[in-house]
Structure 1
Amino acid sequence: MSMRALADWPPEERRLVKGVLTDIDDTFTTHGRLTIAALDAVERLRAAGLKVIAVTGRPTYWTLPLLRLCSFDAVIAENGASAFWLDAQGRLQSMFYADAETRRQHRHRLEEFALKMQRHFPAIHIAEDAAQRVGDLAFDIGENIAPIPLSQLEAVAALIRAEGLYATTSSIHAHASVVPFSKQSMSQRVLQQVFGIGDDAACRQYVFVGDSANDASMFAHYPLTVGVANVRKFLDRFDAHPAYVTQQEYGAGFVELANSILNEK
């Protein structure tokens, strides 16, 4: 699929946008850091009446502060395992892929699998944020180590699947889960159940921006999709590519997208 430059996105489509769904790592952040420009872009989008929802592979309890500190309307974590938002009274609300007891059982199975991963791939360790997760287990493939080659990543994912588990990858983590969930399925659920936005309307009025393989479900489902420029590094890892691509990488690409929308408002 050929990606077009963001500048080619028709102005009449940009004027219809009512919300932005955004990945966090290497899309909203820049080398692991939040920039003033990216935070300001969220504020400007929301001031213009748009909703901004974070959709990330990061763990549940790592992402909770983002809800308030970054002024997101909602945060979806662990590639769709959990979601959080504030109600009209400012009280925290949540939804999960399964009840607490089921999640506990799944966690035990994943921790047993982690021992097998260590035996097969001694250099691949559980991600440092593992204790903050409720639905999956992440392995470090590029956060605190040099990014592993594609051939090794494919072997890691194959091992996960061979155990009857589900695998997905981002630019920094390989994720294993007992049941399938995705950024897209939880995004659809949150938009419908929390904000009253049906999927047909979301496909016309919401744009998703991301950068890596765990964003593929979003790129495949939503017609309005954008990759920040660094997405080009990972296009060989998934088939559903974004429709448009920014000139800038990382958080600067997110700001570029925000400006392209706001310039038409």
Structure 2
Amino acid sequence: MPASSKVVTPRPLREADLSRAEGVFTDVDGTLTTGHKLRSDTVRALERLSDSGLRVVLVSGRPAGWGEAWARQLPVDGVIVENGGLFFLRGKRGLRKVYLESPAERVANRRRLQAEVARVLKQVPGARLSVDSAYTEVDLAVDYNEEARLGEEGASRIESLLHARGVTAVRSSVHVNCWLGRFDKLSATRRFARVAWGEKLEPRHGRYVYVGDSFNDAPMFQAFELGVGVANVRAVLDRIDAPPAFITRAAEGKGFEELARTLLARRSRRAREE
């Protein structure tokens, strides 16, 4: 990941105009989770957002298998997984799965991706697929900070080698996610809004918040007027392609809870004023 020529400092969350927000798109690892765990207080924050009528959608690099479970069990409207390769939403006939690419494209890309990643793993000592790559359908993930401990240098080398082979590769807080295909978190979010709600997503209009913490959130931070980083995003601000506009005081799941409280308070204030 190339270093930015100038580090942009996000503004405090209190300066964000959340009065028009109708929903939240949120990353999971390092944003909802705290120390790799999902705290009960964070789940309660999701519940409070949903109960208030706000739309809540998870946007993660995690596998399709995780996404289906989250969509069934958590108080959310949908789940986008594998960095935008597919998503789940609730429909009239139950849970619906939507891919961003055709079956033929997925089969061809999957075969080539597996071969390219296998070549790269042989070149980096200690590199291995994440345990949950077994549950992916579109992308693969190389573990550098979950069970493995490859550090920044190892993650950067993996990214560089994959890029040289024509593979999209970008880090979350735990994995180097890699895929072949014309999608990312932002394109999938736009597609989700069309399919789920029949609307064209306009991230600059302030109707939706995006909250994240790492490199693979950069397309979302760049697009969303209300792009929010939880405090641990500070660790990558000097290297991320696009920083968030705003930042929470607290890190990880507590940062998300801070956002939820702030958003609900602004929503309540607006309702009283109207």
TM bucket by the smaller chain? over 0.9
Q: Structure 2-normalised TM-score? A: 0.90
Correspondence for 1:232: 234
1:209 corresponds to 2:211: yes
Q: Distance in 2 between matches of 1:152 and 1:35?
A: 30
C-alpha separation in 1, matches of 2:21 and 2:149? 38
225-234 vs 174-183, which moves further: 174-183
2:83 match: 79
Residue of 222, 238, 245 corresponding to 2:247? 245
Q: Which moved more, 1:194-203 or 1:154-163?
A: 194-203
Deviation at 1:163, TM superposition (A): 1.1
1:103 to 106, 125, 147: 106
Q: What pairs up with 1:34-45 in 2 under 5 angstroms?
A: 34-45=38-49
Maintained 8 Å contact 1:184/1:218: yes
Cα distance in 1, alignment partners of residues 62 and 246 from structure 2: 24
- Pick from 130, 133, 137: which aligns with 2:136? 133
Distance 1:230 1:106 in 2: 33
Does the Cα contact within 8 Å between 1:165 and 1:178 map onto a contact in 2? yes
2:209 is paired with a residue whose SS is strand
Deviation at 1:233, TM superposition (A): 1.1
Deviation at residue 71 of structure 1 after TM alignment: 1.4
Alignment partner, residue 23 of structure 2: 19
Matches within 5 A, 1:55-204: 55-89=59-93, 91-146=94-149, 148-149=151-152, 151-200=153-202, 203-204=205-206
What is the root-mean-square deviation of aligned Cα atoms in Å?
A: 1.5
Contact 2:204/2:223 (8 A) holds in 1 = no
Q: Aligned partners of 1:235 and 1:24: how far apart in 2?
A: 19
CA gap 1:177/1:88 in 2 versus in 1, 3 angstroms: same
Distance (whole Å) between structure 2 residues aligned to residue 19 and residue 202 of structure 1: 14
How far is 1:142 from its partner?
Answer: 0.7
CA distance in 2, matches of 1:46, 1:87: 17
Cα deviations by residue, 1:137-171 (Å, 9 ceiling, x for unpaired): 1100111122512x433321111011121111111
The answer to whether the 8 Å contact 1:147/1:172 transfers is: no
Aligned partner letter, 1:7: R
Aligned length in residues:
260
Q: Distance in 1 between matches of 2:241 and 2:31?
A: 19
User: Where does the alignment leave 5 or more consecutive residues of structure 2 unmatched?
Assistant: 1-7, 268-274
* Identity, % of aligned positions: 35
Paired position in structure 2 for 1:5? 12
Match of 2:260 in 1: 258
Q: What's the CA shift for 1:51?
A: 0.2
Partner letter of residue 5 of structure 1?
P
Which amino acid in structure 2 is aligned with residue 122 of structure 1? P
Shift in Å, 1:192: 2.0
Q: Name the CA distance, whole Å, in 1 between partners of 2:96 and 2:42.
A: 25
Which 4+ residue blocks in structure 1 deviate beyond 6 angstroms?
none
Structure 1 unpaired stretches of 5+: none
CA–CA distance in structure 1, aligned partners of residues 237 and 256 of structure 2:
18
Structure 1 length-normalised TM: 0.93
Taking the aligned partners of 1:153 and 1:60, their CA distance within structure 2 comes to: 23
Distance 2:118 2:71 in 1: 34
Q: Is the Cα contact below 8 Å between 2:82 and 2:136 reproduced in 1?
A: yes
